[in-house]
Every structure is written in C-alpha cells, then in structure tokens.
Amino acid sequence: MSETPQHGSFVWNELNSPDPAAAKAFYTRLMGWSFAPFPMAEGEYWIIKKGDTEIGGLFPLAGPDFKDMPAHWMTYIAIDDVDARAGEAQAAGGTIVRPPFDVPGVGRIAIVRDAEGAYMGWITPKM
C-alpha cells in the first residue's frame, strides 16, 4: 500500500494459517514469494513479497482464539472511518467479529461479517 487507497477499495490479502512454516514453503516453491518478518504483540507476522513488492501478509493462527480455525485467505478493504462504518455495518445486518483496533504504523482495523456471512477485514490505513 504505497498511496492512500479510496474508500471501498481492496487493499491487502492475508493468508491466515495454523502452520506458517508449511505455508511459507508452499508459496515460496509455487509462487516464488519471499517472507519478511514483521513483529507484532501477538507474535510474528510475515509480509509476503514478490521481488521487492509487498503483496500481502501471513498471519499465524496461534492461540485459543483460533483453535479449530482452518487456514484461509482474508481480504482487507479500505474504509474511510472504521469506527463509524462498523455501526453502519451492524445496522445493515452485518456483525462485528472483532471490534476496531489499532495496528501501529499500519492503521485501524475491524473484522466484519456481512449480512450473508462473508468475512472481511476493514482498514483505515495510516500511510
């Protein structure tokens, strides 16, 4: 994400995996991706790179909150105001799965389920 994305634009893809080592081996071999560590309070996150370009992330599904969750891809959408839009999502029949929280240097994020049950990440990026 190098320029400020417009509200409603897809901006990031993230692989959520209970076995980051296996995921990294798979995608390195088949896609030629590399992975750069990005420390987080909850553990190590990995930035997925194609050459020098950051193209996504790898989030480790570790801990009791993710006990039986299978590996999956999560898409993030730019939102002009995550906090305000979270209330609107609920009024429209959606669910806030994880309330808005800050990721230092990245932005404010919420995990949302739409009215049909599809999950997505919303982010007000800090550029």
Domain ranges in the chain?
1-78, 79-127
Pairing of strands 34-40, 43-50: antiparallel
Read off the pTM: 0.86
Alpha helices by DSSP H, the chain = 20-31, 82-91
Residues written for the chain? 127
DSSP letter at 117 equals: S
Judge whether 18 and 61 are in contact, CB under 8 Å. Answer: yes
Superfamily for domain range 79-127: 2,3-Dihydroxybiphenyl 1,2-Dioxygenase, domain 1 (3.10.180.10)
Q: pLDDT tens-digit profile of 7-28?
A: 999 999 999 999 999 999 999 9
CA atoms within 13 A on the CB side of 19: 6
Q: What is the average pLDDT value for the chain, to the nearest integer?
A: 93
Superfamily for domain range 1-78: 2,3-Dihydroxybiphenyl 1,2-Dioxygenase, domain 1 (3.10.180.10)
